[in-house]
Structure 1
Amino acid sequence: MIYFLYKAGAWIYFALIRIVAVVNPKAALFYKGRKNLFRNLEDNLPSSSEPLVWFHAASLGEFEQGRPVIEELKRRLPNVRILLTFFSPSGFEVRKGYAMVDYICYLPIESAENVKRFYDLTNPKLAVFVKYEFWKEYIDQAHSRNIPLLSISSIFWEAQIYFKSYGKFLKESLYYFDHFFVQNETSKRLLESINIDRITVAGDTRFDRVTTIRQQAKDIEIARVFKDDELVIVLGSVWESDMKVLFPALNALGKKVKVIIAPHQIEPGFLTKIEMKFNHSSVRFSKATAENAANYRLLLIDNIGMLSSLYGYGEIAFVGGGFRGGLHNTLEPAAFGIPVLWGDSETNARFAEIAGLVDSGGGLPIGSSTDAAKVLADLVENAETRKAKGKAAGDYVQSKTGATDTIVEYLTKQLK
């Protein structure tokens, strides 16, 4: 009965997406992106005698966890073909031009017929699921075809259906996985509680990814000139809820600091609001030049794609999204060895790295404008404290690297 509800629920969801697509742009991408999917897959997936590895990521965040594995696998075995699928438009639309794989497409809507057709066309040597999205029909049919199944950067918690009495039909699919590379000991213990023992606690591949990003950071001339050897606070992926808390503290610091703000969404109204509420001189990145950038106290980023390199110009970072329950990437600035702040919220507890940054001394949650004023003033005025916390953040990231090599070692053995 529960399995029937699972299948019915999936089809109802996809039917609703088709209806909502008329008025919702993201739903439209979800629906239209799957039109002619099989024809395009058949026409464009390179044919070769070389083995194909299929990676599936739900969205952009999961892709970033799979990305270091994909790139290291390609480095070691350049002839291996890689197929990458996404469930969500927020992953596919951003990374559809990613050059390190042979083909990228949406995951076909789950049904016995669609899954059979997908495997008939692709015939993967290995199937790799990233983090915690598990599609029962894809898993079951892979098992029936003797396609090895791997789960990487996976994370489990007690409330998940696999560990409930009514989740037996989904739990059974987990037994078909040849190996789980989990992020933490809790996940390992939960899998062991349902008699799964093919587990390696490899950690989170994002630590490897952000280390690579730091090593490959671009030189941004405007940001370098803007910094002009002054202390800089970088606010990354911020929303209006973040700025409401931060503006009083930033304005109070005055000319003690310079500020780089990279909003999560580049909306004209939000950019204008930031400029109006910041009490000192500001310039948008698109208007700044190498001749005038140093004259301003705020560099407002009105483009997408350079934030990870911008953290390299800061001494302190604030990462947005925390106040609204969707905290963005705190590991990117931590990798640069600078203290990391974020908006405090109970929902942040699901991010293991938050506890890690706090415990290491490299990160601090901000709960209010009063908190922001106190914490920022202390970090700005006390260089010793600032450097110690920055070192703690960087050391924490470095201590967690290595998951990618562990996973790729296993993959290469399976493919040789």
Structure 2
Amino acid sequence: MYLLYDLAVLISWNILKLIALFNPGIRKFVVGRKNTLPYLQRMRDPQKPLIWMHTASLGEFEQGAPVLEKLCAAYPEYQFLITFFSPSGYEIKKDKLNPHLVTYLPMDGSRNCAKFLSIVRPEVALFVKYEVWPGMYRQMARQKIPILLISAIFRKRQAYFKWYGGLLRGALRRVTHFYVQDTRSEKRLKSLGINAVTVSGDTRFDRVLEISSNAKPLAFMKTFKGKRSCFVAGSSWPVDHRMIAPYINQAAEGQCFVLAPHKIDLKTIEHLEQLIEKKTIRYSDMNQGDLEDACVLILDTIGLLSRTYPYAEIAYVGGGFGTGLHNTLEPAVYGLPILIGPGYHGFLEAEQLVRAGGIRVVQNTGDFEAEVSALFKAPELRSDIGKINEAYIQEKKGASDAILKGVQSLLG
């Protein structure tokens, strides 16, 4: 089976190299992996033990970050390696995690994995959420390197629970211990005969609490908001914009809007501006005078969304109309009422907060206008809904501490 898997990995790699000639994103994926082993040979300090954390992309890194920070504090004598699967995560974080080692995960063939591990020699490895790699797990098991899968969540539709998922089930059985988000995931693992499972919760709760407690004020947001009531739409898509724009166009004088599109390419920004009749300003073009006069601020940048939520009275989180719901925890931690589209099933925290009443679901433009109008007119209602979300975050914190204890039990 592994011979066929290695062959499939090799074929995929050669196809990707061809695509890279024409696709800049894939080119980064390929060139970055060519540099992985030389980079590690230069930077790996053989005198220090090493802890390795692997994440798929930026979102999963944020999920693992609170665990990483606790491990750094507990093991200052260790070297730390953070690997990414996708260029989007790597490119953003490669220069921001000093003194840690940051690189790509190699392709999952047996030879690549063996070379990688011979250089890295980790004492323990933490893989975040969905990151299960049969080739790497097999090589790690051979070398008796402990594998922890953290903030993991398992669903019936995943290949592990299908007749064709034998290779992936075998990889799961090589994991030393699972730290899962919910009891359903625990039960599904146990149905496979896997019992080394702790229901620790989701480390994203720790992350949003940490970000909110350390967030620095944004002077431009204070100027933009002034004495107005503010609505923030985060990670929004064109379908969201078409629903939101009609409300903005007839909004009352004392209301302002921040829109943070998921994609910030010029075409997306220009299309958004065409939908809005009120005065808009882009973050990239702003100055203090323009901010006070504008009704809509478009964040055509990355990294500021979570810091704008404290200035909002109402939040909308995009992706619920088909692309995949984005992070509802970022506004929830600030005690905001949250609106989302109907596609929230499979997102555990959204499901729970919809049932609790902290998140409201809108199906169309009419729903959206009715909900936003009611919330802007009723400060007490906003407060009551927001308290549900804030309490939910507080109740779910602590997953990082549970995982830290698990690592400490392995390392001594």
Q: For residues 113 and 75 of structure 1, what CA distance do their matches in structure 2 show? A: 34
- Is the 2:58–2:88 contact (alpha carbons within 8 Å) kept by the matching residues of 1? yes
- Is the 1:223–1:313 contact (alpha carbons within 8 Å) kept by the matching residues of 2? yes
Q: For residues 287 and 164 of structure 1, what CA distance do their matches in structure 2 show? A: 51
Task: Report what 1:375 is aligned to.
Answer: 371
CA shift at 1:47, angstroms?
A: 3.2
Task: Report what 1:390 is aligned to.
Answer: 386
Equivalence map 1:23-102=2 (5 Å): 23-48=22-47, 50-99=48-97, 102=100
Q: Which one of the candidate residues 213, 226, 244 is aligned to 1:228?
A: 226
- Is the 1:45–1:102 contact (alpha carbons within 8 Å) kept by the matching residues of 2? no
| One-letter amino acid of the counterpart of residue 243, structure 2 | V
Give secondary structure in 1 for the equivalent of 2:216: coil
CA shift at 1:58, angstroms?
A: 1.5
Task: Report what 1:155 is aligned to.
Answer: 153
Q: For residues 169 and 111 of structure 2, what CA distance do their matches in structure 1 show? A: 22
| One-letter amino acid of the counterpart of residue 152, structure 2 | S
Q: For residues 12 and 366 of structure 1, what CA distance do their matches in structure 2 show? A: 45
Give secondary structure in 2 for the equivalent of 1:9: helix
- Is the 2:242–2:275 contact (alpha carbons within 8 Å) kept by the matching residues of 1? no
Equivalence map 1:14-413=2 (5 Å): 14-48=13-47, 50-99=48-97, 102-345=100-343, 348-413=344-409
Q: For residues 30 and 268 of structure 1, what CA distance do their matches in structure 2 show? A: 24
User: What are the ranges of 5 or more consecutive residues in structure 1 without an aligned counterpart?
Assistant: none
TM-score calculated relative to the size of structure 2: 0.95
CA shift at 1:12, angstroms?
A: 2.7
Give secondary structure in 2 for the equivalent of 1:162: helix
| One-letter amino acid of the counterpart of residue 384, structure 1 | E
Give secondary structure in 1 for the equivalent of 2:201: coil
Question: Residues 265 and 325 of structure 1: is their aligned pair in 2 closer, same or farther, counting only changes over 3 Å?
Answer: closer
Q: For residues 331 and 194 of structure 1, what CA distance do their matches in structure 2 show? A: 31
Give secondary structure in 2 for the equivalent of 1:323: coil
Give secondary structure in 2 for the equivalent of 1:259: strand
Q: For residues 275 and 118 of structure 1, what CA distance do their matches in structure 2 show? A: 48
Q: For residues 72 and 100 of structure 1, what CA distance do their matches in structure 2 show? A: 16
Query: Percent same amino acid at aligned positions?
Result: 38
Q: For residues 98 and 201 of structure 2, what CA distance do their matches in structure 1 show? A: 23
Q: For residues 208 and 327 of structure 2, what CA distance do their matches in structure 1 show? A: 10
- Is the 1:66–1:205 contact (alpha carbons within 8 Å) kept by the matching residues of 2? yes
- Give the number of equivalent residue pairs: 412
CA shift at 1:282, angstroms?
A: 2.5
CA shift at 1:296, angstroms?
A: 2.4
- Is the 1:253–1:377 contact (alpha carbons within 8 Å) kept by the matching residues of 2? no
Question: Residues 272 and 400 of structure 1: is their aligned pair in 2 closer, same or farther, counting only changes over 3 Å?
Answer: same
Q: For residues 412 and 81 of structure 1, what CA distance do their matches in structure 2 show? A: 16
User: What are the ranges of 5 or more consecutive residues in structure 2 without an aligned counterpart?
Assistant: none
Q: For residues 220 and 213 of structure 1, what CA distance do their matches in structure 2 show? A: 14
Q: For residues 65 and 22 of structure 2, what CA distance do their matches in structure 1 show? A: 33
CA shift digits 1:226-274 (9 cap, x unpaired): 1112210011122211100111122232324111112222233433333
Q: For residues 73 and 213 of structure 2, what CA distance do their matches in structure 1 show? A: 17
| One-letter amino acid of the counterpart of residue 407, structure 2 | L
Give secondary structure in 1 for the equivalent of 2:252: helix
| One-letter amino acid of the counterpart of residue 364, structure 1 | R
Q: For residues 203 and 303 of structure 1, what CA distance do their matches in structure 2 show? A: 31
CA shift at 1:38, angstroms?
A: 1.1
CA shift at 1:20, angstroms?
A: 1.1
Q: For residues 88 and 279 of structure 2, what CA distance do their matches in structure 1 show? A: 35
CA shift at 1:198, angstroms?
A: 0.9
Runs of 4+ in 1 over 4 A off after TM superposition: none
Question: Residues 132 and 284 of structure 1: is their aligned pair in 2 closer, same or farther, counting only changes over 3 Å?
Answer: closer
CA shift at 1:100, angstroms?
A: 5.5
Q: For residues 98 and 407 of structure 2, what CA distance do their matches in structure 1 show? A: 17
CA shift at 1:361, angstroms?
A: 1.2
| One-letter amino acid of the counterpart of residue 24, structure 2 | P
Q: For residues 192 and 24 of structure 1, what CA distance do their matches in structure 2 show? A: 42
Task: Report what 1:10 is aligned to.
Answer: 9
| One-letter amino acid of the counterpart of residue 389, structure 2 | A
| One-letter amino acid of the counterpart of residue 357, structure 2 | G
| One-letter amino acid of the counterpart of residue 322, structure 1 | G
Give secondary structure in 1 for the equivalent of 2:250: helix
- Is the 1:128–1:149 contact (alpha carbons within 8 Å) kept by the matching residues of 2? yes
Give secondary structure in 1 for the equivalent of 2:321: helix
- Is the 1:334–1:393 contact (alpha carbons within 8 Å) kept by the matching residues of 2? yes
Q: For residues 41 and 60 of structure 1, what CA distance do their matches in structure 2 show? A: 21
CA shift digits 1:86-122 (9 cap, x unpaired): 1111211121123266201111111221111111111
CA shift at 1:400, angstroms?
A: 1.0
Q: For residues 296 and 170 of structure 1, what CA distance do their matches in structure 2 show? A: 53
